[in-house]
Structure 1
């Protein structure tokens, strides 16, 4: 029986050594997989970090674009306001010049109308005088009939 025991023991020992080798191979494989996972995780972390940096750069550029547009808008509004103010000043100057010219023309018109009124009065007076002369001549019989 000792022989069987020794054979069994030797067989068990050989089986145990094969199991240990298998165990080491499994452990080595796990270590290799872990190293690959670490490398993959490192690569994924690197990709995530770079992606985050790109997103941050995009947001920064968008923010800068908005600032530039707002700055451009302010400059544009200031320029438009300045041009409008210049146009107003030119209009007011034109209004003043036109008002002066219209004032002179209105004064000339007033003078002409006053002259017309004075001449109309004089004509009426002359007409009354002529009418009186005609009536006076008609009464004295010296007047000749007027034919139209």
Structure 2
């Protein structure tokens, strides 16, 4: 299983000829591959004048410290998440309420405009119905006059 960390000076680096960037690798090895690694590690420890176990302990301690800091950072951020969500919810409720009030005001404005138009049309219908009633009365009078003429 491999873990990669970007250019940490505390960790040993491995260079791959096909890659142009340096990545740091921590490998959890099986017993079979451990023998090959021990030979490479002992030559590295001899060349750097640091005992092999100290190098690994230092790297492990650094990794452990970094992981602990990462977990602590995540916990701090998680602790603030409910506050952030509550703030977001409050702002969202405020915006929705504001939009509802604007829609209500716009709706009442439309009601006012429609009421005015409806009143104008009702007055026109009342005038037309008045004319129809007058014409109907005249028609009844004309029919009665024709009926009297026939007799």
RMSD: 3.0
Runs of at least 5 residues in structure 1 that lack an aligned partner in the other structure? 1-43, 136-148
Aligned to 2:96: 80
State TM-score, norm by structure 1. Answer: 0.53
Give 1 or 2: higher strand fraction.
2
Number of residues of Structure 1 aligned to a counterpart in Structure 2: 100
Aligned to 1:89: 105
Q: Does 1:131 align with 2:138?
A: no
Aligned to 2:129: 113
Aligned to 1:18: none
Shift of 1:66: 2.2
Give 1 or 2: higher helix fraction.
1
Distance 2:79 2:121 in 1: 62
State TM-score, norm by structure 2. Answer: 0.52
Shift of 1:118: 1.4
For residues 55-104 of structure 1, give each alpha carbon's deviation from its aligned partner in whole angstroms, at most 9, with x where no partner exists. 44322211222222221221121111111110111111101110111111
Aligned to 2:28: none
Q: Which has the higher contact order (CA 8 A, sep 6+)?
A: 2
For residues 34-73 of structure 1, give each alpha carbon's deviation from its aligned partner in whole angstroms, at most 9, with x where no partner exists. xxxxxxxxxx999988766554432221122222222122
Runs of at least 5 residues in structure 2 that lack an aligned partner in the other structure? 1-59
Q: Which has the larger radius of gyration?
A: 1
73, 78, 83: which is aligned to 1:67? 83
